Chain A
Amino acid sequence: MTIAVLFFIIFFILKKGLPVLSFKFLTTNPGEMGKTGGIFSTIIGTIALTVTAVLIAAPLGIGSAIYLTEYTRENWVTRVIRFGAECLAGIPSIIFGLFGFILFVTKLKFGWSILSGSLTLAFMILPTLIRTSEEAIRAVPYVYREVSYSLGSTKWQTVTKVVLPSAMPGIVTGIILSVGRSIGETASVIFTAGSALRLPTSIFSSSRTMSVHFYILAREGISMSNAYGTAAILILAILAVNLVTYAIMHRFMRKYC
């Protein structure tokens, strides 16, 4: 049943979307609010937003995971951090959007920009990153740490030279999952990154992502065919991201089992 629904969605989108796709569609900017032209600027916007969000969230997430696993024992502090992360994961994305709008766009005066958008996205993907990194780090056999200490390493050397490299495949999986989530995110991005169609020039310019573009095209009835074209690219991108994740997981499993 699940598979059937999945295939139906993919098939439906691709059937409607593929005829629109062309090299030109990918490489020209939208014209007349998206009625004509391609989606080049939205692709760039999506990439910029996602990359920045991951760059902000990954060090935080991996850092928290290291702290939770290596530097503390289970106590109320770790429980509070975990509970917090779980709550963060459960908040609807529109709330994140509103929060980002109030804090980054208006209060901190970043305006509708890639910066505000990616900060907001960073908060949204943080729980996933913490969770997956933590699990990856915990999966590193304890004895590796013991060996490292027994050779006279400090804790930090053990973490950076043994634990993190061994946990890397798991951490990368988490990062890729977050990338997938960021690409598909719509509600919070409209509020924080805006929906400018121009090609973004810096992290302070407003930008429209593919999913926002799709939403606006479909909702305002500007051009259904272009909307489906965008959706097709989105689906293909997310599919690609998931396949890469799967491949990495597979290698990870082979290495340790």
Chain B
Amino acid sequence: MGIIEVSDLSFFYGKFQALKNVTLSIEKQKITALIGPSGCGKTTFLRTLNRMNDLVEGACCQGQVLIDGLDIYQKGVDLLELRRKVGLVFQRPNPFPLSIFDNVTYGLRVHGVQDRDVIQERLRWSLESVRLWKELKDSLDRNALSLTGEQQQRLCIARLIAVEPEILLMDEPCSALDLFATEKIEDLMRELKKQYTIVIVTHNMQQAARVSDFTGYFLLGELVEFGETTQIFTAPTDRRTEDYITGRFG
């Protein structure tokens, strides 16, 4: 059984149905890529996994999402704890306009960690995990907005890691970065999967092929096909998947 078990999940924005009966299982400490054309529900799906869609007016969700065996749409679920456990990396790097230190330790502060030693240790460890510690350890009070795009994206990942999540959701994390930076972030993802389960939404099929272990193909809110990445890219069983990955469409 996977760390995330989704069964028969449908999602509505008002009357528009963005997800149609999605069922899939995501394995622990693997990278799962979700591909598909724009507006097909990948991002919506990703955001149902930590209930970020709750913030959208008129959104409504049916079906079941189990994370670590817990139904996250059940009443009385601790949303704050869920979002700590399931972190989200956004499309564009979006550090707060605060210092590097404040950015990384933000999550700790909101979760009430006050012990200075713990904060220092987590700060160092998060920045080390994203390979930023050496570059930035002497300039922690610099404004985070002065970093390069790639550094900012790394910082955003560090900000998540600081609160010790189990699952990292990444919503096209490289779309605002150049090729070189993309490669480095992909390396980082391979590194991170030793500890975390990663679900990544991407427009870029090559990226999915390069980094992921499993791939799911979304089309118009439907999960058309899901399987091991090598299988999806070499021997897709569904005609529509084949059309997409061979570039005939999308």
Taking Cβ atoms with an 8 Å cutoff, the residues of A that contact B are 73, 141, 143-144, 146-154, 157, 161-162, 165-166, 255-256
Contact = CB atoms under 8 A, between A and B. Distances in A.
A151 B163 contact: yes
Interface string B26-50: 0000000000000000000000001
B109 to A, nearest CB: 7
Nearest to B98: A165
A10 to B, nearest CB: 36
Contacts of B92: 143
A166 B163 contact: no
B97 A166 contact: yes
Contacts of A149: 52, 55, 83
Given A151-B87, A152-B84, A152-B110, A146 B160 contact: no
B96 A152 contact: no
A153 B96 contact: no
Contacts of A152: 79-84, 107, 110-111, 163
Nearest to A157: B110
16 contacts: A143-B92, A143-B94, A144-B94, A146-B52, A146-B55, A146-B90, A147-B94, A149-B52, A149-B55, A150-B83, A150-B87, A151-B160, A152-B82, A157-B110, A161-B109, A255-B145
B96 A166 contact: yes
A148 B102 CA distance: 13
Contacts of B159: 147, 151
A153 B82 CA distance: 11
B52 A154 contact: no
B130 interface: no
- Shortest 6 CB-CB contacts between residues of A and residues of B: A152-B84, A153-B110, A152-B83, A150-B88, A151-B107, A152-B80
Contacts of B138: none
Given A151-B160, A152-B84, A161-B110, A255 B97 contact: yes
A151 B57 contact: no
A188 B32 CA distance: 67
Contacts of B80: 152-154
Binding site secondary structure of chain B: helix
Given A147-B90, A151-B160, 9 more contacts: A147-B96, A151-B87, A151-B107, A152-B110, A152-B111, A152-B163, A161-B106, A161-B110, A255-B145
A207 to B, nearest CB: 41
Contacts of B98: 165
A255 to B, nearest CB: 6
Contacts of A154: 80, 110
A173 B163 CA distance: 35
A151 B110 contact: yes
Nearest to A166: B97
Interface string B215-228: 00000000000000
A151 B110 CA distance: 8
Nearest to A153: B110
Nearest to B92: A143
A41 to B, nearest CB: 43
A146 B87 CA distance: 11
A157 B160 CA distance: 17
A149 B145 CA distance: 20
Contacts of B82: 152
Interface string B150-180: 0000001001100100000000000000000
B171 to A, nearest CB: 10
Contacts of A150: 50, 52, 83, 87-88, 90
A153 B110 CA distance: 6
Nearest to A147: B94
B97 A143 contact: no
Contacts of B84: 151-152
A29 B82 CA distance: 65
A148 B90 CA distance: 12
B54 to A, nearest CB: 9
B57 A73 contact: yes
Nearest to A142: B55
Nearest to B80: A152
B234 to A, nearest CB: 35
A256 B145 CA distance: 9
Contacts of B111: 152
A166 to B, nearest CB: 6
